[in-house]
Chains A and B, each alone.
Chain A
Amino acid sequence: MTGQGAEENRYIRQSTLAQIGTKGQRRIGQARVAVIGLGALGSVSAELLARAGVGFLRIVDKDFISLHNLQRTLMYTEQDAAQSEFKAVAAKRHLAEINSEVAVEALVLDIDSSNVEALIADVDYVVDATDNFKIRYLLNEACHKHGKTWVYTGVLAAFGATMVIPPQGPCFRCLSPTPPGSGKNLTCVEVGVLSSITVTMASIAVASVIKLIVGGADAGSGPGAGSGPGADSGPGAASTADAVPKPGAAPKPGAAPKPGAAPKPGAAPKPGAYITLDLWNMSYDELHIQQNPNCPCCVKEEYEYL
Chain B
Amino acid sequence: MQIRYFANYRTITGRRTEEVAAPATMLALLEQLSTRYGAELRRWLLSADGLAKGENAVILLNGRHIEHLDGVATTLKEEDVVSLFPLVAGG
**A interface residues (Cβ-Cβ under 8 A, vs B):** 37, 39-42, 128-133, 136, 153-157, 159-161, 174-178, 180-181, 183-184, 186-188, 193, 198, 242, 272, 276, 278, 281, 283, 285, 287-290, 292-295
Q: Which of B16, B60, B62 has the most CB of A within 10 A?
A: B60
A69 CA / B10 CA spacing, docked (Å): 28
**B interface residues (Cβ-Cβ under 8 A, vs A):** 4, 6-8, 10-11, 16, 43, 55-56, 58, 60, 62-65, 67-68, 83, 85-91
In the complex, the answer to whether A175 meets B58 with C-beta atoms within 8 Å is: yes
Question: Knowing that A180-B55, A181-B56, A183-B55 are A-B contacts, what are 13 other residue pairs whose CB atoms are under 8 Å apart, sorted by A's residue number?
Answer: A37-B91, A130-B91, A131-B89, A156-B86, A156-B88, A156-B90, A161-B88, A174-B68, A176-B65, A186-B89, A198-B90, A242-B63, A272-B63
Q: Which of A131, A175, A180 contacts B90 (CB 8 A)?
A: A131
In the complex, the answer to whether B65 meets A153 with C-beta atoms within 8 Å is: no
Chain A nearest Cβ from B3, distance in angstroms: 13
Cβ contacts under 8 Å, A288 to chain B: 63
A174 CA / B66 CA spacing, docked (Å): 10
Q: Can you report 29 A-B residue pairs in the complex whose CB atoms are below 8 A from each other?
A: A39-B91, A41-B91, A129-B91, A136-B89, A153-B91, A154-B88, A155-B88, A156-B86, A156-B89, A157-B8, A159-B7, A161-B87, A161-B88, A176-B58, A176-B87, A177-B65, A181-B55, A186-B56, A188-B90, A198-B90, A242-B63, A276-B6, A276-B85, A278-B7, A287-B60, A288-B63, A289-B65, A292-B68, A294-B68
